[in-house]
Structure 1
C-alpha cells in the first residue's frame, strides 16, 4: 500500500520509518521541495499539493492549527483516504476547537469527496512507534464516515501493532481530540512516563 504523509515534522518522520519497516512505499509532502531538509533515502519527497496523486492513504501530520491551509490546495483528493491525527492545540496546550466541531470535521468539510478517518491523535510519538505497554496492545480509537475507508485504516492500525476500535462517524472527532489532552497533560506537562495508554477491554 502506498502511503503519503503530509508534513515533515517529528511525527511524520517517525511514522514514515514505521511504514517503511512494514514494507509500504512512503512519500512525504513538503511545502517547498527546494528547502534544505535532511532527506532519508527510503522516502520520496513531493510537493504537498501532490501528496494524493500516488497514494491510497494520506496521513495529515501538520500542526493542528494549520490544517485548513495544509489541505485546501491538495490536488485530486477525491475518493482518497485521509487519516487525520491532528489536534487543534493553541498556546499553553489549550484546545481551540471542541464540543461543537473538530479538526476532523473541518477537514471532511474541505475535502468533501474524500474519506477522513480520525485516529492516531490520542498518543504521543513514542507510543505510535511502539504501541504496547507491558506487552499489551494499546487500543487505538478511530472515527469516520465511510465503511471501506474505516476498514482499511483498521487494518493499517492492526499492522502497526494497535488494537483498533471504531467508535462512530467523523463527528466523534470532537470527542477524540479532547481525549488526547489527557495524555498530553500527564506526559508532556506533568512529565510522567510515556509508557501508558488506553486499553479497551471488550
Structure 2
C-alpha cells in the first residue's frame, strides 16, 4: 500500500520503519521540502499539501495541538483514509479537548470527505517499536465512521503486530484521547515502566 505520513519526528519515523518492513511504500509530508533535514533514502518526501496525491492512506503523526493546521491545505484528500494518532495535550500535560469533542472529530470537520479513523494514540514510542508485553499483543482500539476504512486500518494495525479492536464510531475518539492520558500519567509523570499496554480479553 502507498502510505503518506504527516510528521517527520520520532513517532512518524518509527511507524514508517515498521511499515516498510511489510513492503508498504512510505512518503513523508513536510512543511518545507527544500529545508527538510531528516531525509532517509528509503522514503519519499513531498510538501504536506501534496501528501494525498499518490497515497491511499495518510497517517497524521504531528503534535496534538498542530492537527488543524496540518490538514487544512491538503489537496486531493477526498475519499482517502486518514489515521489520527494524536492526543490534544497542552501545557502541564492536560487535555485541551475531550469528552465533548476530539482531535479526530475536529479533523473530520476540516476534511469532511476524507475517512478519518482514530487509533494508535494509546501507546508510547516504545510500544510502537514492539507492540507486545510478555509475548502478548497489545490491544489497539479503533474508532471511525466508515466500515471499509475501519477494516483496512484494522488489517494494517494487525500487520504491524497489534491486536486491533474496533470500538465504534468516530465520536468514541473523545473517550480514546482521555484514555491515553492514563498511560501518559503513569509513564511520563510517575516514571513507571513503559513496557506496558492494555489487553482486551475476548
Question: TM range, normalised to the smaller chain?
Answer: over 0.9
The aligned counterpart of 2:188 is: 188
Q: Distance in 1 between matches of 2:66 and 2:38?
A: 23
**How far 1:38 sits from its partner (Å)?**
2.6
TM-score normalised over the length of structure 1: 0.99
Secondary structure (helix, strand or coil) at the match of 2:116 reads strand
The aligned counterpart of 2:148 is: 148
Gaps of 5+ in 1: none
TM-score normalised over the length of structure 2: 0.99
Contact 2:8–2:38, Cα closer than 8 Å, also in 1: no
The aligned counterpart of 1:121 is: 121
**How far 1:195 sits from its partner (Å)?**
0.8
The aligned counterpart of 1:100 is: 100
Q: Distance in 1 between matches of 2:71 and 2:107?
A: 7
**How far 1:36 sits from its partner (Å)?**
4.1
Gaps of 5+ in 2: none
CA RMSD between the two structures: 0.7
**How far 1:111 sits from its partner (Å)?**
0.8
Q: Distance in 1 between matches of 2:147 and 2:38?
A: 38
Misfit runs of 4+, over 4 Å: none
Q: How many residues align?
A: 202
The aligned counterpart of 2:159 is: 159
Q: Distance in 2 between matches of 1:142 and 1:173?
A: 8
**How far 1:96 sits from its partner (Å)?**
0.2
For residues 5-48 of structure 1, what are the alpha-carbon distances to aligned partners after superposition, in whole Å with 9 as ceiling and x for unaligned? 01111100111111111111100000000114131111101100
For residues 30-86 of structure 1, what are the alpha-carbon distances to aligned partners after superposition, in whole Å with 9 as ceiling and x for unaligned? 000011413111110110001111111100011100111110000010000000000
